[in-house]
């Protein structure tokens, strides 16, 4: 998740006054997607399976609470 400006290749969603954009191809692969604010960051859930490896131990899954 990062700050960005919408492009022609993005889908744009307005949720409770917040604008979320996602690359159209990635959006199709990741559906369904949910984003929840957890007080300390965002929790993102999608149908994509992420590897458990990597340098950020709390960011290794689709349902992690990385902010």
Give the pLDDT confidence of 19-33 residue by residue, as tens digits: 899 999 999 999 999
Question: What was the pLDDT predicted at 50?
Answer: 74
| 44 part of a folded domain | yes
- When divided into structural domains, the chain yields a total of 1
- The residue ranking higher by pLDDT, 54 or 40, is 40
Which domain range does residue 31 map to?
Answer: 10-53
| 15 part of a folded domain | yes
| 14 part of a folded domain | yes
| 58 part of a folded domain | no
| 61 part of a folded domain | no
| 5 part of a folded domain | no
| 63 part of a folded domain | no
What is the rounded average pLDDT for all residues in the chain? Answer: 79
User: Which residues neighbour 15 within 8 Å (Cβ) at sequence distance 6 or greater?
Assistant: 35
Structure tokens belonging to residue 48 = 């994509």
User: Which residues neighbour 7 within 8 Å (Cβ) at sequence distance 6 or greater?
Assistant: 21
| 18 part of a folded domain | yes
End-to-end alpha-carbon separation of the chain, Å? 8
Q: For the whole model, what pTM was predicted?
A: 0.59
């Amino acid at each position: 998740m990062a700050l960005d400006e919408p492009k022609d290749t993005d889908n744009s969603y307005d949720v409770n006054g917040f604008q979320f954009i996602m690359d159209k191809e990635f959006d199709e692969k990741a559906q369904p997607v949910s984003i929840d604010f957890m007080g300390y960051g965002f929790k993102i859930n999608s149908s994509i399976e992420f590897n458990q490896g990597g340098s950020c131990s709390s960011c290794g899954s689709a349902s992690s609470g990385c902010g």
